[in-house]
Amino acid sequence: MLSAAIQMDETCMNTEKPQLGQPPAGRRRPRKSSVPDASGAGSKKVWTHKLNRKVMYITVVVAVAATLAVAIANANRPSLYAVTIDGEIIGYTDDKAVITEIVWRLSEEESFRVGAEAVPSVEVDCQKIKWEKGLEVTDPDELGEILKGRIQFVASGYVICVNGKDVVALCSEEAARGALDELRQNYIESIVKAGHATVEEVLIKEKIDIVEQEVPTDLFRGKQEAVEILTRGTDKMLSYVVQRGDSLWAIAQANNMTVEELRKANPDLEGDLIREGENLNLIVPDPYVTLYSREIVTYTVSIPYSTQVTYDDSMWPWQEEVLQAGKSGEKEVIEEITRENGEEVARTKISEKILSYPVTKKIVRGNKQVPEMGSGELAWPVQGTITSKFGPRWGTYHRGVDIGAPTGTPVLAADSGMVVFAGWNGGYGNLVKIAHGSNMQTWYAHLSDFAVSTGQEVKKGDVIGYVGNTGISTGPHLHFEVHIDGVANDPLSFYK
């Protein structure tokens, strides 16, 4: 104990630390009393008495020495400082210069980053405090990290203000103007790329100011980033990496968006196709600025040709001859289109110039009437059963009778006449029309095959085709119509 107290005393007085238990030789202060040798002289009694007194004496010396030691130790310890940011203690140091150095270095780094002289916007201070139990100096590296995370800086920047709102700061007026120019330039490029247009004018609708002012360095951006922020309407970035099994709907749902918003945020998306690992933007652009453009677009439009028909009595109605092929013309149209952020808001025609005139198609069509060929008494066209009669049916009008019969059953001409049509006709499928004279025609629909061709003369009872299921039909049957003066009549009224 004594030895320890003395040793501590010596340790604190020296700047260089001696080895524990081996005080430097010759430095020990001579003492009146010391622990006697085990081989000390004198009688046992006297010795005990002397020992008791010595113990007391030693205790006092130890107490004094210890108090002295602590006092000297503290007196010789370097000063302790609490490091504060705006009054809040963030650590302790015994070297104020280290803090000054860190703050200076961080300021330099921030200045370099933003390209303008950055100064802390918070107050970093070192306040001398007393050493107390439990206090220790914070590791300088750790202090550096804390300061880096906590110190905010301001710098004089050129702030782009949109309608009075500070949006982004740049380090120079030139950079700020450059960002706005680039914004316009990008817009022009996107329009020219999309529409083969020439852009006459691009304006920003909002009130834009470039103001030199001291702003938090957080607001500083490079030119490119400034353009992106102005376009996107936020400095936030939020994206999502597509996982296996994802759908646009599920991703939108999970991020409180609609699929439409997700598409708006990712204009490059095509259809519903997303690939695993693809990066989707989750911020719907809401630009700070509205780019207004006037562009001139020139395009050519086709002018359709008209058709002129003349009639020839020597030709049958199904015969047609092209006298002159038609050809479309072309005109050049110049329009002015006004857009806001790419969306068309107005379009005005400036001029129209015909590049080539259309050439009229000229045809001659037959007008020769089918002679009286029918007997007026119709034969039943196919063996089968009537499955649906003439008249209103399912909300429409059934213009004939349906006769159910197996596919391939021969279909007969109901009367003599001329085949005026044998071919495909939409819902009728394969259709044969026979003209009998006296403006009477019979029609045979849904045929599986033909036995006659257009222009052919047929006799009553001749096979003209075969029952089928072509066109709009729900099973093999013949749909049979009888026309008088172009109007469908009830076929059954012709059979007595």
Instruction: Look up residue 285 and give its two tokens.
Output: 């652009």
CB of 491 to Zn ion, least distance (A): 10
CB of 481 to Zn ion, least distance (A): 8
Q: What does the alpha-carbon distance between residue 35 and residue 287 come to, in Å, rounded to a whole number?
A: 89
The tokens 């949109």 sit on which residue?
A: 162
Helices 173-195/223-232 angle, 10° precision: 60
Whether the Cβ atoms of residue 339 and residue 191 lie closer than 8 Å to each other: yes
Q: Which stretch binds Zn ion (CB under 5 A): 3-11, 94-102, 200-208, 474-482?
A: 474-482
Q: Which stretch binds Zn ion (CB under 5 A): 181-189, 372-380, 398-406, 428-436?
A: 398-406
Shortest-Cβ-distance residue relative to Zn ion: 479
First-residue to last-residue Cα distance in the chain: 143
Shorter beta-carbon distance to Zn ion: residue 445 or 458: 445
Shorter beta-carbon distance to Zn ion: residue 402 or 415: 402
Q: What does the alpha-carbon distance between residue 197 and residue 89 come to, in Å, rounded to a whole number?
A: 63
The tokens 């304006």 sit on which residue?
A: 203
CB of 389 to Zn ion, least distance (A): 9
Binding of residue 479 to Zn ion (CB under 5 A): yes
Q: Which residues make Cβ contacts (< 8 Å) with residue 9, sequence separation at least 6? A: 65, 68, 69, 72
Instruction: Look up residue 140 and give its two tokens.
Output: 């300088």
CB of 468 to Zn ion, least distance (A): 13
Shorter beta-carbon distance to Zn ion: residue 339 or 479: 479
Task: Return the residue of 228, 402, 415, 481 that touches Zn ion, per CB under 5 A.
Answer: 402
Residue 156: strand pairing partners: 214
CB of 479 to Zn ion, least distance (A): 3
Q: What does the alpha-carbon distance between residue 91 and residue 137 come to, in Å, rounded to a whole number?
A: 7
Encoded amino acid at 307, one letter: T
CB of 253 to Zn ion, least distance (A): 49
CB of 431 to Zn ion, least distance (A): 12
- The mark string for 258-287 relative to Zn ion (x by CB under 5 A, - otherwise) is ------------------------------
SS3 at position 148: helix
Q: What does the alpha-carbon distance between residue 240 and residue 150 come to, in Å, rounded to a whole number?
A: 30
Shorter beta-carbon distance to Zn ion: residue 9 or 402: 402
Shorter beta-carbon distance to Zn ion: residue 110 or 402: 402
Shorter beta-carbon distance to Zn ion: residue 228 or 402: 402
Shorter beta-carbon distance to Zn ion: residue 232 or 433: 433
Provide the binding-site residues for Zn ion, judged by CB under 5 A.
402, 479
